[in-house]
Chain A
Amino acid sequence: MTRSWHSLAKVSDFNSAKSKYVDLGNKEIALFFVEGKFHATDNFCPHRGGPLFRGNIEPGPNIRCPLHGWNFDMKSGQSLNMPQATITTYPVEIRGEEVFVHI
């Protein structure tokens, strides 16, 4: 499947929030803004489908699923407490006021 850049949010969306999710119909993408940097991952935890955008952002930066605590590195997608588990991460670019994600 060919990947392409998609504008998924405005930078200003993150003035008051550190995360949000975007429903693309066939998948949901979680966006995080941590210490001045944007990160994009799949929104659903591979364990029981917990919405990662509602998880706890922890130093790393890592995202901990709010349902049962599976914890993922936002950059690599590798789980820190479930060695076999990963989530897909996506490149992010800021173009003006828009947050573009390569999906």
Chain B
Amino acid sequence: MQNINKIKNLINSEYAYLMAEHDNWSLVSGSKNMEIVAHALRVILHAGDVKHHEAEWLAVVDCQNEEGAWGGESDNPKSAPWASAFLALMLIRANAILKNKKITASIEKSIDFFIKDQKADGRWIDPAWADLDTTSHPVSFFNVVLAIGEPKWKKKVLKSWRAGLKFITDNQNPDGSWVDKDFHPTGVETTAHLVQDSVIASLCFPDRKEVAPNQDELKKVCAKGMEKLISFQAENGSYDNDNMDHTMDSMRSLVIISRVLREEKKCTPVIEKALDWILEYKCAQGWPDFPGMKVNLERTCDGLDVLLKYMVWREKDWKQAVRRWGYVTGIPSFKGLRRPKTKQLSRAKV
């Protein structure tokens, strides 16, 4: 089991590194890939540092297109549903702290976009991603709308959320995995994404029995997904042939599943082994996609998110872990953040 003080120190040193890389992920300093932006904002949110970075969230609002979505790149407004859902999720979660009217209006626009963009069978489509993976993202956004959103929003998204969730649960394989034969034949990443981003939230809402009356069925879906994720792990603790991204996804997925299903005993050795491997192949600063490769910012943000989620996974209150996904009310925080000195942030034209 990892030493918590060591993890805290690591979070602080990696957070300082992320802030030093500010110009490479921040919209405030110019055009960016929006997936990188969303990954960095998630770290800031989970580090409890949102108030010091409000300009970053407002810069995201400034990039929203007329439809209510975002492009994959900030300078290309063509709607990209996968990235848009990730950004909308960051907006609604941060706005529980910021309570900014511009952000509220932006969230409303994105809700309307996703309701309109959904296909008849409940899926969403983004040509750059597998449909199952794409669908899990608006469902994840709507999960948070249902958990912490305004009552009128909840009413608006419920039907669409149920259809998206049904598309996902209907496509689970009997062995508990989700596989996309065109994009993800191994199913590791898709399975990890779909449980943590979509299905597990339905077991967490305070009014879950009204929102999702088929609780027993959804619990079974998550339990089967959990068993499959456990079985996917390699002897060395990694997933998918030493794939850092997929190991981080799988570990984080087990963090929330284990706390919601109260399966900590079964999942603890798997989570600890995965984290040991993730830390073994960390570089001096940041993480690579595979051991021995150069670090990249997206994986470094994922690595920080892993550590921040591990911290709350070790807490007594199971809801602290769920709060890291936004599926219950309350503000995520990290006690002990040493805020690095950063340049004065002001909004630039993006």
- Where the two chains meet, the residues of A that have a C-beta atom closer than 8 Å to any C-beta of B are 47-51, 54, 56, 64, 66-71, 81-82
Contacts and interface: CB of A to CB of B under 8 A. Distances in A.
3 nearest CB pairs, A to B: A69-B183, A81-B182, A69-B184
B13 interface: no
Interface of B is mostly: loop
A51 B293 contact: yes
Interface stretch (B52-60, B140-148, B240-248): B240-248
Contacts, number: 42
Contacts of A48: 35, 298
Given A47-B128, A49-B296, A82-B128, A54 B182 contact: no
A56 B183 CA distance: 11
Given A47-B128, A54-B289, A68-B183, 11 more contacts: A51-B290, A51-B293, A54-B242, A54-B243, A56-B185, A66-B241, A66-B289, A68-B184, A69-B180, A71-B182, A82-B127
Which of B35, B129, B183: most chain A CB closer than 10 A?
A: B183
B127 A66 contact: no
B130 interface: yes
A25 to B, nearest CB: 12
B101 to A, nearest CB: 34
Contacts of B289: 50-51, 54, 66-67
Given A48-B298, A82-B127, A66 B183 contact: no
Contacts of A70: 183
Interface in B214-271: 240-243, 245
A67 B183 contact: no
A69 B243 CA distance: 13
Contacts of A82: 127-128
Contacts of B189: 68
Contacts of A68: 129-130, 133, 183-184, 189
A50 to B, nearest CB: 6
B182 A69 contact: yes
Contacts of B128: 47, 82
Interface in B278-293: 289-290, 293
Contacts of B129: 68
A6 B300 CA distance: 33
A66 B35 contact: no
B184 A66 contact: no
Nearest to B33: A48
A67 B299 CA distance: 11
